[in-house]
Amino acid sequence: MRFGFSYIGLIWLIMLLVPNFIWTKNKPKDYEEYVHNENKVLLIFERAGQFVVTSVALVLSDFNFKGWNFWCPVLIISLICMVLYEIYWIRYFRSDKTMKDFYKNLLGIPVAGATLPVIAFFLLGIYGGNGLMILGSVMLGIGHIGIHLAHKKEVIEPGAKKHIVKRILIGIPKVIVSMVLIIVLGFFVVVIIGRNINQIKRVIDYSDGINKSEYVMLNGQEQYILTMGHDISNPVIISLHGGPGAPSTITDYCWIDYLTDDYTVISWDQRGCGRTYYHNVNTDPDNSTVSFEQAMNDLDALVEYARNTYKQDKVIIMGHSYGSLLGSQYVLDHPEKVSAYIGIGQEVIEEDLYAYTYDYNDALAKAREAGDDTGEMENAYENLINNPTVANMSALSNSTLKYHSPRVTEDVSTTATIFSPYFGVDDARWYWVILSALTGNTAYEDLEKPLIDYLLDFNAYKRNTDFQMPVLFISGSDDWSCPVGPIEEYYDVITAPQKEMYLVDGCGHSPQGQLPEEFCQAIKRFLDVCKHVITFN
């Protein structure tokens, strides 16, 4: 929820109030006969709903146009409802202005003068992701529509009932459509209200610190970051998402909250993905500026931003999966700017599809030992070797999952994503791009190709293994995306002033989303132990 003037809200209110003002001079001739019978409880709901809807529409800017996206149909339907509302009034003002004229259906919509604006403002709440508008329109609907349905029942004499068979044939589709609408809209309402509650809670929790979404200029391109912390004088952690091109900024708060008493944490949508991609889509639609070298330069610019903004001499770099590739190479190149490095699911060897082959060989051995059919798994591996696409990678992982399922099945990150107070349209758009890759759509692979190619050619042993800062490798013990075995072997090879390998028992590739508290306790414990060799300021 964002405070600010809403021109959309003002337009909707004008469309609502102007006809009502004209109506006060053109009431139905027999209106006074019915007005005294209005239910007092419904009147309370109506007045409360009017107050909430009017106030929220004017003082929150959530409803303003956000550009063309998949939420636009909701706004368009809301506008159509308001246009139909105006048509309803025009028809009434041109009629004899009786109560029967007042309650005549419009396009089959009962009590259209009450129903249409309620639907319009309800949909406006959905479009703006605003639970207050949704609740206000529901209250308004209960009161306003309820009152006018009661009046209509008094005014309009019931007609002859249809034959029972015809009533059933007409009623069943209505019930089905109504149930679908209730389920779909109910889901959106629950999600929106949950998000709004989280937004308010976080404003309160971080009132003395920082909880800031912004675009910062990194090497000529504005890129999205989210910064959280209770004290901006604390050491800074820069968190690097995996993928490549799989930002987790909207979800990271589910584990970052366990760190923010002691650290200021920056999450970042890297160049060419997520909000950063859509923010720059007009100038770089094909990701022509994306490369691993550019990613290293962007990270360096972000490190400089963090050092200057938060008055830190050094920062902590934390990378997950592909982010650990980027992070580890950066800290090896810039030890003078980094106080500690944390690799989550550390990338070690990806060349020649090493990690996938490691996963496959282990699962194949377990399948054969169990006497299971291995045909599907072998075909999936052969397809991947011949054509290393995201869809084929996913197919192989699915075929080995039976033998490599994490023992920890809980995952708070899923709920955190659904109810994320940071979730935006561009986040959803980008996740759709990623998900479509699993069905063979190549848009994601085309956009991320330079980084994917770099990843699939990576071998950490061909690079420097001498870290000049403390190093923590933390993995789920059941991670087969970045298998633990090769990480442990690499851990034995590297040198560092202080190093630790920590396994979160039973977790898979994202222990931070499965057991976030244990994950963060391991990080804080390691950094506390390393304080004698870490310099922040």
Check if the beta carbon of residue 392 is closer than 8 Å to that of residue 383: yes
User: What mean pLDDT is predicted for residues 352-379?
Assistant: 95
User: Per-residue pLDDT for 367 more than 60?
Assistant: yes
With bands split at pLDDT 50, 70 and 90, how would you rate the model's confidence at 60? confident
**Where does 206-349+408-417+449-532 sit in CATH, by number?**
3.40.50.1820
Checking if the pLDDT of 170 tops 60, the result is no
Sort strands 338-344 and 471-476 into parallel, antiparallel or unpaired. parallel
Please check the confidence at residue 33 and state whether its pLDDT lies above 80.
no
Query: Could you write out the DSSP letters of every residue in 49-90?
Result: HHHHHHHHHHHBGGGS---SSTTHHHHHHHHHHHHHHHHHHH
Q: Please identify which residue in the block is written with the tokens 């909207």.
A: 250
| Residue 160 predicted with pLDDT over 60 | no
Residue of higher predicted confidence among 156 and 87: 87
| Whether the Cβ atoms of residue 358 and residue 485 lie closer than 8 Å to each other | yes
The full set of domain ranges for the chain reads 7-159, 206-349+408-417+449-532, 353-403
Question: What pTM was computed for the model?
Answer: 0.84
What tokens appear for 140 in the block?
Answer: 């308004």
Strands 315-320 and 338-344: parallel
Q: Tokens 């963060």 identify what position?
A: 520
Is the pLDDT at 217 greater than 70? The verdict is yes
Average pLDDT of span 212-223: 97
Q: How far apart are CA 133 and CA 351, in angstroms?
A: 53
- The tokens describing 276, both together, are 């950063």
- Look at residue 272 and give its three-state secondary structure: coil
The stretch 427-452 carries a mean pLDDT of 93
- Tens digit of pLDDT for each residue in 457-490? 999 999 999 999 999 999 999 999 999 999 999 9
Among residues 349, 330, 347, 326, the alpha carbon closest in space to that of 338 is found at: 330
Average of per-residue pLDDT across 293-309: 98
Percent with pLDDT over 70 in the chain? 95
Is the pLDDT at 151 greater than 90? The verdict is no
Mean pLDDT of all residues in 284-305: 98
- In DSSP notation, 194-241 reads HHHHHHHHHHHHTTTSEEEEEEEEETTEEEEEEEEES-TTSPEEEEE-
Sign of CA dihedral 18, 21, 25, 29: positive
pLDDT at 35 over 80: no
Q: Which helix (H) or strand (E) holds 431?
A: helix 425-437
**Per-residue model confidence (pLDDT) at position 266:** 98
Question: Of the given ranges (63-72, 96-105, 511-520), which has the lowest mean pLDDT?
Answer: 63-72
* Best CA proximity match to 320, nearest among 214, 445, 529, 472: 472
Model confidence over 186-196: pLDDT tens digits? 888 888 889 88
